[in-house]
Chain A
């Protein structure tokens, strides 16, 4: 177990090691070395995470490969600040860690031929940021200490901010700042909530907090330290976390930063943003909201799932009217992640497992779409859909790949997107807290996805050939570079793999999800039993549990 824990730490810090190596390279003369070092380290991280997967015990519900080390313990005026380096993965984290380590080498490889890098230079800085970003994202998915989690959460902002701000398109700085401020605004609410949680539970460690919640589901509302604890407290805490995550996802109506960020970001930025960063939000919802606030999750499941359903329809509808290819793809994220939100708040195994798989699927298919758009952008230097047309005529294989990725995004059965969508929809109908109409309207998204995706595919890949300015229609060809081909292959492989044999992926998260679901159910039942009608009787019960839990400690 000790060694396995070190493995987790190794995966987490490999990118940072890479970054350190990078520091010793000369940014002007050793650009090739910098590229390959970065790529090497992302691949190394990926391989290490595969080893983690191999060591992952699917029958264990809780955290595994845990590595723990108390790094902060200061006495300040009678108060103790304890913060623990505590990493480990459960089924949910494992999948997202794999997603991160899978997407990063692709993102790095895709950067090799990015024109904007040559134009604006500072490649060392660029690749450094990619490694920093990978480290931070892995941290978010692995860290089990709230305060360190928060730090990692915030650190992800910095490299992404620069990626957009330095290597982005025309309005890059505007988009970068908006991205930064918008997300920060949400995080600050989360920070306050984290501090309150720590005050109630006396710890920052998530497993311990969950254990306390398990012992007393009503813990947030009855904290004796607060002068006027009430039902509102739990809700406020819940929404403190929720808003931070909702902005990150983004859940409608917090999505306003997303089109700006995506459209302005360089290809890599968009790939990572869609591929991994957004999943931090949905991951947070499952990891923190559901496990720390089971009762509140149940209470607001309908409301949040409604936002999800609105997001599905709204995102799909809005993306259909886009004239900018990249913006179209950006809006599809809102629709797809709407599915994920619905799945999470179905609060049953089908929904949450489907949602988690859909996080991975969305990373693959939308990441793939951004790669494809990026490849075309490198040639056409525009994102306007009008400028494209007939690309399938000159690039049959590339067109076929684009079609497959589009269909995956559309949810064609046999490809990955369908598996996630279907299980989410399955979960939403069987959910105790949602039901028929959620499913009905969410399923409409399936039709609407076909509308926008096929519209885009027809306009970009079919019809008369349109060539970039100054190119001759007779001789123009995409001339795909080797790295551009290489990044698309793993995407295609995974699209089919998950589409045909998703069993292994479900197995990874099965135990963890089931435990989470029963955790939520139990907590909800307990609260309901204790509190069938919301009266003062609640407090009598509350007193009892406090006593028992104290005694237990």
Chain B
């Protein structure tokens, strides 16, 4: 097997967790914990190994562009509708393996595997153990489909699939008795419905994309995402030119002129390259292009090429045309490159767009024209971005749809870590980054995204400061950090967004698993206390058990001595999240801040300038809040004295839980170094500068900001200062056990901020989540229910069903049948009408007591009546002839 074929492993990455899920789903209850866990973990780890291979393959400097992979031939496409109007719908099951996907694969399966391992210990003793692992595996499967699909609809399959798994796993403990169980299932439902609102956006966006571009594909097989990057690697243009996007046909033509000389070198002996297209390599340029391996797409575009370009269709190496997609007609390309082509046009200008079946040229300009809809491409683009963003706000918990995420903490903690912190919730960010070409051409769209992201980051940061539940703090922190990523996308810092996504996945998973370990410990401590008390105290305990909440930070305190490993790893996560130097979050957050600043100062569009500065300042404040609430949490959970018996007796967790914590803690400390910026001495001595950025560039044609920005000591310094200041303030407020457990349990515990006049109102507002839920309940939920009840009971039933139909129409019918029965008393018509008349009287009263014998008579009469009516009415009306 050649190295290059590792891209073809992608179907396996998905298949393996699918098989794991199937085994556990079907046999889960028979396998027992040990084997169930083993199956789940094995599936996940295998997927991770495949992902690493794919990643390593794409990381090979000889490989400069991604591939479109068709799955096994068993899947012959997906949705296909031949149409008369040229807009054939063809949506295949097809994978896109490029560097964005590779990063996501690695994050999902890597964190996923650790969390699978952690779950072995955490879920121990749960009656639905097997099903839990089945769901986790299934989640992996859908998440992998999400990040590896080559079109928006396949992405959407994964998108909804993870939503479903989220629904099932948030409500995983719906079976708990009493209101707790019901609340769990409520949380799941809330998540699903909030996400459905986002899905509405995705569907709308997909439809708009289809009618704008005639395809939902990201890229066609053989298409190059970032021509500049490829040309730069081929030596056709300089790095500087590539940075400035100077990779147009002029540069290429110059390159192609030189290239023509050695075009015959490669063709004859390349193994199978011609028809299979599995490998096209050019020894001179050192480029390997992985292309589609299967047939369907090729046949189509092969024809098109032949019509358009003639001979270049199956060149054995990557020609200049291939690098710049010049051998594709615009209509044959995926949505992104089509857009890039269209945006180059002036108003009124038209280019050859496609060639129809009979060989006629189809021209197209900037305007999008379908049905009664007609708009300039840029207006259309804003609409598309708007709906994509709506989708992203659902899945990635941004304003206005974030409200489901905090409730999602009802699920088991590994689920919170995996789905609601590290991976699933980043799907929206992934989607936006994937659509970076769209964003590159829409300043308005970018602005909207930046504002949504930044305000979410700030808002959630405020709320997090007022939470008591250890997981809720982290949940709002996640919302806030996702806001950072979305804001980064909004200022064009796509790489920084993905970078932060990756580092955040590591340290937030760590924090969640750490909190899980804490909760687990406190719960065990609680049971421990329960067991060792005598019968005298039993009554009290029973009462206590009702009230005791193992997730409430007011019940904790002093845990650093009881759970040292959890504490230290948690500390690493906190530093990473707060953005203290060297730790992972420092690099990624700094990258976002710097990019925002540069975006603001160097962009030409006023909206970009505004967005850049706004994002910079808002995120700076939000970052300070982050450090503040995290330090508050550290103080409340790990420092001071235990505020409950349970906390005093909490044991450290088992090895299967602490080992993933340690691994993640190491990651949280060092993973940021994968993308050390230039000038960040002394780190640059050990790590290649901006390696991650370079890796991602191949799939991102439109890096407008932060291409290779050097380390900015000032920005980093300010950010660090803010973080330390916030920690200092938090320390002075919370150190020394100041959040106390109240006399009657955790609910009476007070926060120092609460008792201070200047901050108490804000604290209350924050702890009530700034009233978002109340607001939605009053303006959406209640009205929806009321209108539903009104429509169902009053409009549909009382009025339309009972009054109009059963009274008005029936009476009218009675009257007419009475009128008709007498004057038209002739022959068979009598029978028919009489039948109806009798039915009506029957309808009006006696239906409860009637014998079934009558019913039969009526139907027979009716049947005869129908036939008779037909015959009678037909006779005189039929024309002669024919």
Determine if A446 and B200 form an interchain contact, defined as CB atoms under 8 angstroms apart.
yes
B870 → A minimal CB distance (Å)? 7
Residues B837-882 near A (CB distance < 8 A): 839-840, 842-843, 847-848, 850, 852, 855-856, 859, 862-863, 866-867, 869-870, 873-882
Which among B84, B805, B869, B881 has the highest number of chain A CB atoms within 10 Å? B84
Nearest CB to that of A421 among chain B residues? B203
* Beta-carbon contact of A514 and B181 below 8 Å: no
User: In the assembly, what is the distance between CA of A260 and CA of B797, in Å?
Assistant: 11
Most buried by A among B76, B840, B852: B852
The smallest beta-carbon distance between B17 and chain A, in angstroms, is 15
A211 is an interface residue with CB less than 8 A from chain B: no
**Segment at the A interface, from B365-373, B506-514, B602-610:** B365-373
Q: Are A195 and B874 in contact (CB under 8 A)?
A: yes
Give the distance to chain B from A78, nearest Cβ to Cβ, in Å. 6
**Measured CA separation A334–B456 after assembly (Å):** 39
Q: A161-B859, A199-B879, A450-B193 are in contact. Are A463 and B82 (CB under 8 A)?
A: no
Tier of interface size on chain A: 35 or more
**Of the candidates B186, B370, B791, which one forms a contact with A317 in the assembled complex, judged by CB atoms under 8 Å apart?**
B791
Q: Is the CB of B874 within 8 A of A147?
A: yes
Docked complex: B783-822 residues within 8 A CB-CB of A: 784-785, 787-789, 791-793, 796, 800-801, 804-805, 813
Instruction: Considering the complex, give the chain A residue whose CB is closest to the CB of B856.
Output: A162
Q: Are B372 and A225 in contact (CB under 8 A)?
A: no
For the complex, what is the distance from the CA of A181 to the CA of B816, rounded to whole Å?
14
B878-A462 in contact (CB<8A): no
- Alpha-carbon gap, A485 to B804, bound state (A): 42
A410 to chain B: closest residue by CB:
B196
Q: Is A393 an interface residue (CB 8 A)?
A: yes
Contact B839 A181 (CB under 8 A): yes
Q: Beyond A80-B882, A202-B879, A413-B153, is A173–B788 a contact (Cβ under 8 Å)?
A: no
Q: Tell me, yes or no, whether B360 is within 8 Å of chain A by CB.
A: no
Q: Do B189 and A454 touch across chains, with their CB atoms under 8 A apart?
A: yes
Q: Which residue of B lies closest to A208 (CB)?
A: B882
Residues of A near B792 (CB, < 8 A) are 317-322, 331
Q: Closest B-chain residue to A188, C-beta based?
A: B869
Q: How far is the CB of B835 from chain A (nearest CB, A)?
A: 11
> Is there a chain B Cβ closer than 8 Å to A530's Cβ?
no
B75 within 8 A of A: yes
Contacts of A436 in B (CB 8 A): 373
Q: Is A203 an interface residue (CB 8 A)?
A: yes
Decide if A502 is an interface residue (CB 8 Å cutoff): yes
* B207 contacts across to A, CB distance below 8 A: 422, 425-426, 429, 439
Among B155-163, B612-620, B734-742, the one that faces the other chain is B155-163
- Residues of the A chain whose Cβ atoms lie less than 8 Å from the Cβ of B77: 503
Q: Kindly provide the distance from the CB of A354 to the nearest chain B CB, expressed in whole angstroms.
A: 8
Could you say which residues of chain B place their CB within 8 Å of the CB of A538? none
Quick one: CB contact mask for A239-276 with B, threshold 8 Å, 1 for yes? 00000000000000100110110000000000000000
- Proximity string of chain A (168-188) to chain B, C-beta cutoff 8 Å, 1 when within and 0 when not: 000101101110110000000
The smallest C-beta distance from A422 to any residue of chain B, in angstroms, reads 7
The answer to whether A27 has its CB under 8 Å from any CB of chain B is no
Query: Is A501 a contact partner of B880 (Cβ separation < 8 A)?
Result: no
Tell me how far the C-beta of A211 lies from the nearest C-beta in chain B, rounded to whole angstroms: 13
| Neighbour of B877 across the interface among A155, A199, A201, CB < 8 A | A199
By the criterion CB–CB under 8 Å, are B879 and A79 in contact? yes
Kindly state whether residue B192 has any CB partner on chain A within 8 Å. yes
Closest Cβ of chain A to B79, distance in Å, is: 6
For residue B28, give the distance in angstroms from its CB to the closest CB of chain A.
Answer: 9
Chain B residues numbered 353-400 whose CB sits less than 8 Å from any CB in chain A: 370-373
Question: Main SS of the interface on chain A?
Answer: helix
* Minimal beta-carbon separation of A294 from chain B (angstroms): 14
B175 CB within 8 Å of chain A: yes
- Given that A155-B863, A317-B788 are known contacts, is A462 also in contact with B81, CB under 8 Å in the complex? no
Interface check A435, CB cutoff 8 A: yes
- When C-beta atoms are compared, the residue in chain B nearest to A195 turns out to be B877
Chain B residues with CB below 8 A from A450, complex form: 192-193, 196
Q: In the assembled complex, which residues on chain A have CB atoms less than 8 Å from the CB atom of B185?
A: 458, 462-463
Complex Cα gap A451–B859 (Å): 41
| A510 contacts the other chain (CB 8 A) | yes
Q: Is the interface of B mostly helix, strand, loop or mixed?
A: helix
Does A434 count as interface, using CB distance less than 8 angstroms? yes
Cα(A317)–Cα(B790), bound, Å? 10
Q: Contact at B78–A500, with CB atoms within 8 Å?
A: yes
The answer for the CA separation of A379 and B882 in the assembled complex, in Å, is 60
B83 within 8 A of A: yes
Q: Are B370 and A422 in contact (CB under 8 A)?
A: no
Q: Which of B77-135 contact A (CB under 8 A)?
A: 77-85, 87, 89
Q: Does A506 contact B (CB under 8 A)?
A: yes
Q: How far is the CA of A447 from the CA of B202 in the complex (A)?
A: 12
Contact with B along A187-220 (1 / 0, CB 8 A): 0000100010011011100000000000000000
**Does B764 belong to the interface (CB within 8 Å)?**
no
The smallest beta-carbon distance between B154 and chain A, in angstroms, is: 9
Tell yes or no: A7 within 8 A of B by CB. no
Q: Which of A79, A174, A348, A419 contacts B878 (CB 8 A)?
A: A79
Which residues 407-451 of A sit at the B interface, judged by CB distance below 8 A?
407, 412-414, 419, 422-423, 425-426, 429-436, 439-440, 443-444, 446-447, 450-451
Check B880–A80 contact: CB distance below 8 A: yes
User: Quick one: closest A residue to B859, CB to CB?
Assistant: A158
Given contacts A412-B164, A443-B204, A177 and B82 within 8 Å (CB-CB): no
Is A539 engaged at the interface, CB distance under 8 Å to the other chain? no
Query: Shortest beta-carbon distance, A309 to chain B, in Å?
Result: 14
A422 and B882 contacting across the interface, CB-CB below 8 Å: no
Chain B residues closer than 8 Å to A517, beta-carbon distance: 83-84
Q: Determine the distance from Cα of A158 to Cα of B866 in the docked complex, in whole angstroms.
A: 11
Across the interface, do B81 and A510 meet the contact criterion of CB distance under 8 Å?
A: yes
If A454-B193, A463-B182, A503-B76 touch, whether A151 touches B879 (CB-CB below 8 Å) is no
B791 with A447: CB separation less than 8 A: no
Name A501's contact: one of B76, B847, B855 (CB within 8 Å). B76
Whether A79 pairs with B880 at a CB distance below 8 angstroms is: yes
Pick from B84, B372, B839, B874: contact of A81, CB below 8 A. Answer: B874
A353 within 8 A of B: yes
CB distance from A116 to the nearest CB of B (A): 13
Q: Which residue of A lies closest to B867 (CB)?
A: A151
**Distance of A446 Cα from B210 Cα, bound (Å):** 19
Please tell me if the beta carbons of A318 and B855 are within 8 angstroms of each other in the complex. no
Knowing A253-B800, A413-B157, A510-B81 are in contact, say whether A426-B89 is a contact too (CB < 8 A): yes
Q: Is A548 an interface residue (CB 8 A)?
A: no
| Contact B199 A446, beta carbon cutoff 8 Å | yes
For window 451-467 of A, CB contacts with B under 8 Å fall at: 451, 454-455, 458, 462-464
Give residues of chain B (158-206) contacting chain A, Cβ–Cβ below 8 Å.
159-161, 164, 167, 171, 174-175, 177-178, 181-182, 185-186, 189, 192-193, 196-197, 199-200, 203-204, 206
CA distance A439 to B387 in the complex (A): 13
How many Å lie between the Cα of A454 and that of B186 in the bound state? 10
Q: How far is the CA of A203 from the CA of B881 in the complex (A)?
A: 9
Whole-angstrom CA separation of A454 from B75 in the bound complex: 31
> Which B-chain residue is minimally distant from A176 (CB atoms)?
B855
Are A158 and B880 also in contact (CB < 8 A) when A177-B843, A454-B193 are?
A: no
- Selected A-B contacts with CB under 8 Å, 13 pairs: A79-B876, A122-B852, A150-B870, A180-B839, A198-B877, A260-B801, A314-B791, A407-B164, A429-B207, A429-B208, A446-B200, A454-B167, A507-B80
Interface residues in chain B, defined as those with a beta carbon under 8 Å from any beta carbon in chain A: 75-85, 87, 89, 153, 156-157, 159-161, 164, 167, 171, 174-175, 177-178, 181-182, 185-186, 189, 192-193, 196-197, 199-200, 203-204, 206-208, 210-211, 370-373, 784-785, 787-789, 791-793, 796, 800-801, 804-805, 813, 836, 839-840, 842-843, 847-848, 850, 852, 855-856, 859, 862-863, 866-867, 869-870, 873-882
Pairs A-B, 5 closest by C-beta atoms: A202-B882, A321-B792, A321-B788, A173-B847, A349-B83
Given A82-B878, A199-B879, A321-B793, output 6 extra A-B contacts at Cβ < 8 Å: A147-B870, A165-B852, A423-B89, A454-B193, A464-B181, A500-B78
